[in-house]
Each structure stands twice: as C-alpha cells, then as structure tokens.
Amino acid sequence: MLIKLAKRLSVVEPSMTLKVSAKAAELRAQGVDVVSFGAGEPDFDTPAHIKEAAKKALDAGATKYTAVEGTPQLRKAAAVWLGKAHGFEVNPKEVMVSAGAKQSLFNAFHVLLDEGDEIIIPAPYWVSYAEIAKLAGAKPVPVVSRPEDEFIVNPEAVAQAITPRTRIILVVSPSNPTGAVYDEKTLRALADLAIKHDIWLLTDDIYRSLCYGNARFVQPATFSPEVRRHTIIVDGVSKTFAMTGWRIGFCVAPLPVIEGMSTLQGQSTTNAAAVSQAAAVAALEGPTDELERMRLEFDKRRQFMVKALRAMPGVKCVEPKGAFYAFPDLNAFVGRRTPAGKVIDGDPALCEYFIDEARVAVVPGSAFYAPGYVRLSYATSQANIEKGLSRIGEALARLK
C-alpha cells in the first residue's frame, strides 16, 4: 500500500528541541555519558503538596471526563491567580484550560487565523510558533531582533511588517530561546500598534515568574481596558511549578474566542486530564516558597553559565534576563574544521560535533530562526552545567 500523508504536514518541521532531547536519551540508554542542555523543563520535582493533592483527587474520583473548558474549580483558581498577578479582575468564563500552554496556543492560532492570514513573530523564536501557524494555514512573519538590543524587537520594524492580512502580533516575554524580558516602553508601542490596526496582541507568559536581576515582567493588558480587549494571554503551570508532564495550560480571552476554542478542543482532546487539573488547583492555591527557591537556583546557574560562555574565546553571549536559557553566538566557529577534517558549515553541524565528539546536546539556533547560535538550557544541575560547559570549551578549542 502506498502511504500518502496529508499535504498540510509538508510545510511543518519536526520539533528540533524534542529531537535533541530524544537523541540524548537514546545515547544515555546505551550507557553513554551525555550532558543535555536541550530540555525546556525544570529539573526540579513537582512540589510535594501538589503531588499529594493529585493522589487525593484520584481517590476522590478524578478519573472521569471534565467540562471541555476545564473544571469550575480550576477555572476559578486560574482566574484568581492571573488576576492577582496582573492586577485586574478575570472572569472564570474567560479562562480556558487545555493540555498545556502549547495546546492553548494551538487552539488560539486555529480559532483566530484563516488561510493566508499573517502572524508577526519576533525572532529568534520558539520552534513551534511558526509551525503551528502554518498548520492553521497562516503565514508566519518573522521580525528579527538584534543582540545589541538584548533581543528585544523594535516596534518600528513590527509596524513595517504589518499588512492588511496581519491578525496577530505575538509577544513572548521572557523569551525562549533568548531569555529577553520586554520593557514597558516597547510593550506599550506594540499595544498601540494592535489598537491602531485592530489586531490581536497574543502574549505567551509561560516564563513570566522566572525573571532575574532588575528585570520585571509586564503584561500589556494592564495598560488600559482597550489594550486588554485586544490581548489574549496564554499561561500555564509547567515552568513555574515544575509541572511540565502534567500538561495544564490556560488561555484568557474574550468570551467569543473562548467559545471558539472550546468548540475546537471539544473535537480534539476534549479536556485536560482530570487529575492534572486537580493538581493544578493545589498549585495555584498553595504555598509559593518552593517557587522562589527554584527561581533563585536558576539565577545562580544563569550567572555561572553566562560567565563561563563569555570566558570561551570566540563566544559571544547576551545576558538572558528571564526563562532558563542562554543563547550564545557561535558564528565565529562556522567554517572551521574538526580534528577529523570535517567543515563546520553551520550551527546544525556544530551541534552534531558537540554531541558526537563532546557528548553534549544543545539545540541549533537555526531552529529558532537564528543561524550561528545555539540554545543551552540551564534547567539542569550545577554539576551537569560545569561538566557540559567544560566539554564545550574543549571541543571549540579543537576546531581549526
């Protein structure tokens, strides 16, 4: 039988971050000592009180379908949590619970974007944004930010990219992969563009609790009621509470958008797992001391990793102000040769060299629309960071 796949898949690239993590896991299963900087998830365990709540919920019968939009308890808890964080009231009816923030984004893109519509995505950007947009039949429009601007996009460049087909300006702060945290002035300028052109400002806030130094998270919907009417907020528990595998994400949007997302999700996954929703309630309503402990540990690792990368000859690295990634510029090594004589013809080849010769897994910048860069996650132990960076430094020194 000739196996013919749907044409929509022909424009979609596989997730490079998942591919890198899978390669590292495969080598580890073979007994190879590999340090992976690929995973975008905290290495900390989910706090104990959240796991206990899940156990109790299972015993109490959290094993059935829930409402598509989420349990009333979780929608209310999320509305309170988000409202407290941003300083405005959130109606639980305007909260949608999905199987992770990625599904929230998937739902939003498919509900808001028609065939041929455009979404402006500041680059470098997370690997899935453009691919989800393409699955929705839309055209991703990258607007490249510069390292000298700390990877914060220029609103004038965004304005120039807007066309009659533009439907969404995507804002990701803190950013994956750069760790950039957007300042209020930039966000106000982007919000003004959304209002002027009557388009959506969609903010992916999944890393908002992980800001460092003097960086502060700002939600544009706080600027005015009019900006809020143009804003869709995506958030979740994965990064903040070390709950990646629980798959719980939220979307806050005007009621007609939520209703559309409910229709879409009702014909796909139906609901996020009932037990995960119960655990998420405990997370949102429980103590936060563990969260600050994790943030402080990430900050220590961040400072160590940036200092170590900058100490390597030829490596440039903008200081990340949020999330848990460093995004060094390794363009100086493109064109060099390995000890075996192979030419490093780009960042994918450099990443292959790292995993084959140094046993370190990193994600190539090309996957994030930033050739010549690589992404390293510091959501791993200090010991792994030290070992992996030492291997990278030695591997780079061997290139001629």
**Are 34 and 157 contained in the same domain?**
no
- The predicted pLDDT at position 177 comes to 97
Question: 103: exposed, middle or buried (C-beta count within 10 Å: 0-12, 13-18, 19+)?
Answer: buried
**Are 116 and 228 contained in the same domain?**
yes
Domain count, the chain: 2
State how far the Cα of 252 lies from the Cα of 90, in Å rounded to an integer: 8
58 in any annotated domain: yes
Question: 137: exposed, middle or buried (C-beta count within 10 Å: 0-12, 13-18, 19+)?
Answer: middle
2 in any annotated domain: no
**Are 251 and 319 contained in the same domain?**
no
pTM, full prediction = 0.95
**Are 38 and 62 contained in the same domain?**
no
CATH of the domain at 348: 3.90.1150.10
**Are 149 and 55 contained in the same domain?**
yes
**Are 269 and 298 contained in the same domain?**
no
Which residues are within 8 A (CB) of 139 and not within 5 positions of it... i.e. 6 or more apart? 116, 117, 118, 119, 133, 165
Nearest to 219 by CA among 177, 191, 247, 195: 191
CATH of the domain at 88: 3.40.640.10
- The predicted pLDDT at position 367 comes to 93
Around 142, how many Cα atoms within 13 Å sit in the side-chain half-sphere?
A: 16
Going residue by residue through the chain, which has 400 residues, state the pLDDT in tens, using 9 for 90 and above: 889 899 888 888 877 767 777 777 787 788 888 999 987 889 999 999 999 999 999 999 999 999 999 999 999 999 999 999 999 999 999 999 999 999 999 999 999 999 999 999 999 999 999 999 999 999 999 999 999 999 999 999 999 999 999 999 999 999 999 999 999 999 999 999 999 999 999 999 999 999 999 999 999 999 999 999 999 999 999 999 999 999 999 999 999 999 999 999 999 999 999 999 999 999 999 999 999 999 999 999 999 999 999 999 999 999 999 999 999 999 999 999 999 999 999 999 999 999 999 999 999 999 999 999 999 999 999 999 999 999 999 999 999 9
* Containing structural domain, residue 131: 50-285
